[in-house]
């Protein structure tokens, strides 16, 4: 046996609540992140990711309580992304019970933030979230912010190489071209990014059918993040893992 | 009572919560008397080897660990808390460890690092930690590991690029490279197995 390929459900949260796109039957409270985290943990999720889309500082403090409540009941790794601007934000999240943090916009604005977090907590705590789309940069892929709405003009591959050198544990590669299409992960981008970084690669954006998952692994992904296909019960995590096993991939069953 | 050594490293609450789940009360402390008097001592650790050693020494952890071993009282090191029990670590230059186990902690020879995720642990039947947990997967997050068997110990192994030690049990000292507190039900079982020896 070898290292298993990871399946990671992602929940959008704000002010301590799951805010959109979840449609489970028989839920007491569809907005309770703890309840959903437990369901996914029991269903075989290898990790969980919360993306905090809170609009205000007050709402973010509620997120800390939510992270804490989740970590009290779910004993698999928890990553929290969104709104991290400085080392103190990371410290607060880790103390609340997060195991890793996702950093995106703030690191683009001030790359030294990566060094600061890695020096204090180690590379392994830091997931660099890259929202990339096809654009007129050197590699043909451009970094975006604000959920893909704002181009930065920064070349995605140059940024990934720079961040890897500064000290990151993983890359969460979100394809803004594939996101929401359910037409499959962006295997071309995954394949190219796999060649320029030595850290584990989590593919995100575009999962729609069962075959999409193994194709992203074929392209070089180490882990697969998905939201709506799990939230709307298109597939269970077990079904995805069974299909990956059929394709010869090691999964934790 | 189980003490979790607080020397400024590690997600202490994760370990505390995981022990609570298995019905074991813990106390996060750096007080030498409490650490020495406890039935079991957890030594956590995340981040770089050298930084962990510095923090451990500053908090008096080296003396606490030595005193517990001298009086045969159980200790379990987790992740970097396990690595610092070895003689040395090569992360970011060379660092001297506690030397409880002979051997060096060095970079894993694998193309993709850190080694992050769930991987199988191969244990011997004599293992107490892995009773009922043969060939289960545990959650790992690390780039460095000890690679040579520890003499007169029960050694358990993991493979990622190469074989490395995923756990060592010798007398009162246990060391696990993975995170039992993040390894779901199998991690809880391992914690119970260890706590059952106290």
Percent of chain B's residues with pLDDT above 90: 89
- The reply to whether omega before B56 is within 30° of 0 (cis) is no
Indicate which of A1, A3, A64 best probes the interface with B, i.e. most B CBs within 10 Å of its own CB.
A3
Cα–Cα distance between B61 and B173 in angstroms, integer?
15
Give the 3-state secondary structure of residue B146.
strand
Chain A residue with CA closest to B163: the answer is A2
Helix H or strand E encompassing B105? strand B101-107
Band (pLDDT 50/70/90 cuts) for residue A15 is confident
- pLDDT for the residue numbered A24: 65
For residue B138, what is the domain's CATH number?
3.40.50.880
- Number of helices (H) and strands (E) in chain B: give both, helices first: 6, 13
Q: Is the pLDDT of residue A57 over 80?
A: no
- pLDDT for the residue numbered B191: 97
Instruction: Choose the weakest-confidence range: A214-218, B36-40, B90-94.
Output: B90-94
Of B47, B116, B182, the CB nearest to A122: B47
Sort B198 into a burial class: Cβ within 10 Å, 0-12 / 13-18 / 19+: middle
Report ipTM for this prediction: 0.94
Per the CB < 8 A criterion, the answer to whether A29 and A35 are in contact is: yes
Chain A residue with CA closest to B116: the answer is A200
Mean pLDDT of chain B: 95
Q: What is the DSSP string of A80-129?
A: EES---SHHHHHHHHHHT-SEEEE-HHHHH-THHHHHHHHHH-GGGEEEE
Report pLDDT digits (tens) over A18-29: 876 666 666 666
Percent of chain A's residues with pLDDT above 70: 95
B181 in active site? yes
Alpha-carbon distance B3 to nearest alpha carbon in chain A (angstroms): 18
Q: What is the DSSP string of A132-179?
A: EEE-SSTTSEEEEETTTTEEEEEEHHHHHHHHHHHH-SEEEEEETTTT
Cα–Cα distance between A221 and A186 in angstroms, integer?
11
Cα–Cα distance between B22 and A76 in angstroms, integer?
15
Cα–Cα distance between A248 and A242 in angstroms, integer?
10
Cα–Cα distance between B127 and A230 in angstroms, integer?
38
Cα–Cα distance between B132 and B130 in angstroms, integer?
6
Q: What is the DSSP string of B28-76?
A: EE--HHHHHHSSEEEE---S-HHHHHHHHHHTTHHHHHHHHHHTT--EE
- pLDDT for the residue numbered A129: 96
Per the CB < 8 A criterion, the answer to whether A240 and A7 are in contact is: yes
A12 in active site? yes
Percent of chain A's residues with pLDDT above 90: 74
Region A152-181 average pLDDT: 96
Per the CB < 8 A criterion, the answer to whether B135 and B122 are in contact is: yes
Sort A230 into a burial class: Cβ within 10 Å, 0-12 / 13-18 / 19+: buried
- pLDDT for the residue numbered B8: 81
Cα–Cα distance between B71 and B36 in angstroms, integer?
9
Of A1, A76, A222, the CB nearest to B184: A76
| Residues in chain A whose Cβ is within 8 Å of chain B | 1-6, 41, 46, 71-72, 75-77, 94-95, 97, 99, 120-125, 169-170, 198-200, 222-223, 252
Alpha-carbon distance A69 to nearest alpha carbon in chain B (angstroms): 11
Give the 3-state secondary structure of residue A61.
helix
**Chain A residue numbers touching B11 (CB-CB < 8 A):** 94, 97, 99
Cα–Cα distance between A120 and A104 in angstroms, integer?
18
- pLDDT for the residue numbered A29: 67
Region A135-164 average pLDDT: 94
> What range defines the domain where residue B101 resides?
2-195
Chain A residue with CA closest to B187: the answer is A75
Cα–Cα distance between A197 and A146 in angstroms, integer?
24
- pLDDT for the residue numbered A103: 96
Residue closest to A51 by CA, chosen among A129, A143, A150, A168: A129
Domain count across chain B: 1
Report pLDDT digits (tens) over B143-155: 999 999 999 999 9
């Amino acid at each position: 046996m070898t290292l298993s390929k990871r399946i990671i459900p992602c929940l959008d949260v704000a002010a301590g609540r799951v805010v959109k796109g979840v449609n489970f039957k028989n839920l007491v409270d569809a907005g309770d992140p703890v309840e959903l985290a437990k369901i996914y943990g029991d269903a075989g999720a290898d990790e969980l990711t919360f993306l905090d889309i809170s609009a205000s500082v007050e709402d973010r403090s509620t997120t800390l309580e939510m992270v804490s409540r989740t970590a009290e009941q779910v004993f698999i790794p928890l990553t929290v992304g969104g709104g991290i601007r400085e080392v103190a934000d990371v410290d607060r999240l880790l103390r609340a019970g997060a195991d890793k943090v996702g950093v995106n916009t703030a690191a683009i604005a001030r790359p030294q933030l990566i060094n600061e977090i890695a020096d204090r907590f180690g590379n392994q705590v830091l997931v660099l979230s890259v929202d990339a789309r096809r654009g007129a940069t050197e590699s043909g892929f451009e970094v975006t912010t604000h959920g893909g709405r704002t181009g930065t003009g920064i070349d995605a591959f140059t940024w990934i190489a720079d961040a890897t050198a500064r000290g990151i544990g993983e890359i969460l590669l979100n394809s803004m071209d594939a996101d929401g299409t359910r037409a499959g992960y962006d295997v071309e981008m995954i394949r190219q990014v796999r060649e320029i970084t030595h850290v584990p690669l989590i593919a995100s954006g575009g999962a729609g059918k069962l075959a999409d998952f193994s194709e992203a692994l074929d392209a070089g992904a180490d882990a697969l993040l998905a939201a709506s296909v799990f939230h709307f019960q298109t597939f269970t995590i077990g079904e995805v893992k069974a299909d990956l096993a059929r394709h010869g991939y090691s999964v934790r069953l | 009572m189980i003490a979790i050594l607080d020397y400024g490293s590690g997600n202490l609450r994760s370990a505390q919560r995981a022990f609570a789940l298995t019905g074991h009360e813990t106390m996060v402390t750096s007080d030498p008397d409490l650490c020495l008097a406890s039935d079991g001592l957890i030594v956590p650790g995340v981040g770089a080897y050298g930084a962990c050693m510095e923090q451990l020494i500053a908090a008096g952890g080296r003396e606490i660990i030595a005193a517990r071993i001298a009086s045969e009282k159980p200790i379990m090191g987790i992740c970097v808390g396990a690595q610092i029990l070895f003689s040395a670590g090569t992360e970011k230059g060379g660092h001297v460890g506690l030397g409880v186990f002979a051997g060096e902690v060095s970079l894993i020879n694998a193309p993709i690092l850190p080694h992050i995720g769930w991987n199988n642990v191969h244990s011997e039947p004599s293992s107490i930690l892995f009773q009922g947990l043969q060939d289960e997967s545990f959650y790992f997050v690390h780039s460095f590991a000890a690679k040579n068997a520890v003499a007169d110990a029960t050694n358990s192994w993991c493979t990622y690029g190469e074989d490395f030690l995923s756990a060592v049990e010798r007398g009162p000292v246990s060391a696990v490279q993975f995170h039992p507190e993040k390894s779901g039900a199998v991690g809880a079982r391992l914690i119970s197995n260890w706590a059952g020896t106290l």
